[in-house]
Amino acid sequence: MFIGHISTGKTTIVDRLLHSNDRNDRRTMNRNEKEIVVMDSSKTFETNKYCMTIVRTPDYRDFIQSTITPRKQADCAVLVVSARTGEFETGMSKDGQTREQALLAYTMGTKQLIVIVNKLDADDVLYSEERFHQIKTEVSNYISKVGYRPEQVAFVPVSARCDDNIFEVSDKMPWFQGWILQRTEKIVTGKTLIEAFDALVINQSLINKPFHLPVQDVFKIAGIGTMVAGRVEAGVLRPNMVVKFAPSNITATVQAIEMYQTSIEKAVPGDNIGILVKEVGRKQLRRGLICSDAQNDPAQETASFIANVIVLHHPIEITQDYTVALSCHTANIRCCYIQLLEKIDRRTGKTIEVTPKSLKSNEAAIVKILPVKPVCVETYEKYPSLGRFIIIDMKRTVAVGIIKVVEKMTVASENMATSISVCDNDTKLN
């Protein structure tokens, strides 16, 4: 996932990466051709080790809501900053997007980060070693406060316009000795961006969990059937498995699995796939459902959940029964705070105040949230990508959260009717 302030060169870098791989042309999904669109505005390219899926986030704050799904699904965030005088400083300012997007990426669970210092070829930079190290120091200081460990982050000086340090080592930066990353088992070194991608580590533990996939889109293909598109977040999916869609409680049999227009016999975490299901109509399914193994820890409707939240910026205080739009995995729902349980230190997690009356910008808390409409979420510890969320109000991201405890509908159904009535009379969301 490419993030960063406006005009840092994200598009140019992405174009360079995609241009290197001609096979992308035949992998591009086209809905009009009855093929599977597995991720919005995403493309793929290959390194020596991986097949990478790129998601470039929009530049403007007003578009931040549309970046929620990519953030929660990304294995790595690529933060692009400009080396040009003034552009870097603007991006790092309080009104810039560099800080906010780095914070959101980490908070939403994207723990691997690559930092690209772009535009080294600019007239006011001229491949300056001093400028690169100045930027590296300032960015390192900030991301360490967010939660990233700078020694685990590759800082790559590049010129996307001139192809410097993208695929091959540039002869215009002889001073750059490369990056050194401390991994669990070994030390990894490199100089180029493509080498930084190969240094990423894939979480293998998710493959041993029960199958879960948030539904990204649903298609009706004439003469074939209903196709569900999404990214496998946990477990393994095979043809003929029986799956359950929650919270709709619809079961179906997997007839076939497709990835990049090719039928496959097994899908694993990280795969963007299309699932052909039997005996289910397109109108019965929708974006935001969770497709899971019907026989092994199937997903269930959520009655309420407890979460740690951080308020980013909000013009007013957040109080009890505050109603907002909440986005978790591919689901967008209307929720309300049922109870502000504790105000906590956002770094240490220690309790500052019990049962606070309100929350202000930059404060953190433990809260209990009740969905007004049916939705399915999981704890972050169990299924990370299904257990983190963003709260939207006035078309802005006002808070982010991690789910700690989930109360399923089967346990709390008797209490739901009373609780929901609290939210029904709230003001309409922006």
What's the pLDDT band for 147 if we cut at 50, 70, 90?
A: confident
Q: What are the φ and ψ backbone dihedral angles of 265, each rounded to 5 degrees?
A: -100, -10
Which of 143, 57, 140, 125 is CA-nearest to residue 86? 125
* pLDDT of 5 higher than 70: yes
Q: Using one digit for the tens of pLDDT, what is the confidence trace for 223-277?
A: 889 999 999 999 999 999 999 999 999 999 999 999 988 899 999 998 889 999 9
Average pLDDT of the segment spanning 16-28: 57
* pLDDT of 335 higher than 70: yes
* pLDDT of 209 higher than 50: yes
Handedness of CA 221, 224, 225, 227 (dihedral sign): negative
What tokens does 391 get? 């709260």
What's the pLDDT band for 211 if we cut at 50, 70, 90?
A: very high
Burial of 422 (0-12, 13-18, 19+ CB in 10 A): middle
Q: How far is CA 366 from CA 186, 344, 350, in A?
A: 38, 7, 11
What is the Cα 392 distance to its own chain's centre?
15
Average pLDDT of the segment spanning 58-71: 46
pLDDT of residue 412: 44
pLDDT of residue 385: 86
Strand partners, 327: 332, 390
pLDDT of residue 384: 87
β-strand pairing of 358-359 with 323-328:
unpaired
- Amino acid 72 reads K
Q: How far apart are CA 266 and CA 238, in angstroms?
A: 5
* pLDDT of 330 higher than 50: yes
Please enumerate in sequence order all residues whose Cβ is within 8 A of that of 426, keeping only pairs 6 or more positions apart, or say none: 321, 323, 336
pLDDT of residue 417: 39
pLDDT of residue 202: 77
**Of 21-35, 203-217, 287-301, highest mean pLDDT:** 287-301
What tokens does 418 get? 């009373």
CB-based contact 298:290 (threshold 8 Å):
no
pLDDT of residue 242: 97
Q: Using one digit for the tens of pLDDT, what is the confidence trace for 276-292?
A: 998 898 999 999 999 99
Task: Tell me which of 279 and 154 has the higher pLDDT.
Answer: 154
Q: How far apart are CA 57 and CA 245, in angstroms?
A: 29
Q: Which long-range contacts (CB under 8 A, 24 or more apart) does 37-41 make?
A: 37/217, 37/229, 38/216, 38/229, 38/230, 38/231, 38/259, 38/272, 38/273, 38/274, 39/70, 39/73, 39/216, 39/231, 39/272, 40/66, 40/69, 40/70, 40/216
CB-based contact 114:154 (threshold 8 Å):
yes
What's the pLDDT band for 185 if we cut at 50, 70, 90?
A: confident
Q: How far apart are CA 227 and CA 217, in angstroms?
A: 8
pLDDT of residue 21: 54
* pLDDT of 72 higher than 70: no
Q: How far is CA 55 from CA 117, 282, 393, in A?
A: 19, 27, 24
Lowest mean pLDDT among 12-26, 151-165, 306-320: 12-26
Handedness of CA 264, 268, 271, 277 (dihedral sign): positive
pLDDT of residue 165: 94
Count the Cβ atoms, other than its own, within 10 Å of residue 293: 21
Average pLDDT of the segment spanning 77-93: 94
What tokens does 223 get? 């003469």
Percent of the chain at pLDDT > 90 equals 50
Lowest mean pLDDT among 62-71, 310-319, 398-407: 62-71
* pLDDT of 40 higher than 70: no
Q: What are the φ and ψ backbone dihedral angles of 103, each rounded to 5 degrees?
A: -65, -45
Q: How far apart are CA 394 and CA 276, in angstroms?
A: 38
* SS3 state at 164: strand
Q: What are the φ and ψ backbone dihedral angles of 135, each rounded to 5 degrees?
A: -65, -45
CATH code for the part of the protein at 206-293 = 2.40.30.10
Average pLDDT of the segment spanning 8-34: 60
CATH code for the part of the protein at 2-198 = 3.40.50.300
Say whether the peptide bond before residue 247 is cis (omega within 30 degrees of 0).
yes
- Amino acid 173 reads M
When the pLDDT of each residue in the chain is averaged and rounded to a whole number, the result is 83
Q: Using one digit for the tens of pLDDT, what is the confidence trace for 89-135?
A: 999 998 788 988 888 788 777 889 999 999 999 999 999 999 999 99
* pLDDT of 7 higher than 90: no
Strand partners, 354: 342
* pLDDT of 174 higher than 90: yes
Q: Report domain extents, the chain.
A: 2-198, 206-293, 302-424
Percent of the chain at pLDDT > 70 equals 85
pLDDT of residue 57: 55
Q: How far apart are CA 377 and CA 385, in angstroms?
A: 9
Domain at 302-424, CATH homologous superfamily: Translation factors (2.40.30.10)
Q: Using one digit for the tens of pLDDT, what is the confidence trace for 248-259?
A: 999 999 999 999
Q: How far is CA 146 from CA 36, 83, 104, 149, 309, in A?
A: 36, 22, 9, 9, 14
Task: Tell me which of 151 and 107 has the higher pLDDT.
Answer: 151
DSSP per-residue string spanning 60-90? SGGGGGGGHHHHHH-SEEEEEEE-STTHHHH
Fold agreement between 206-293 and 302-424: yes
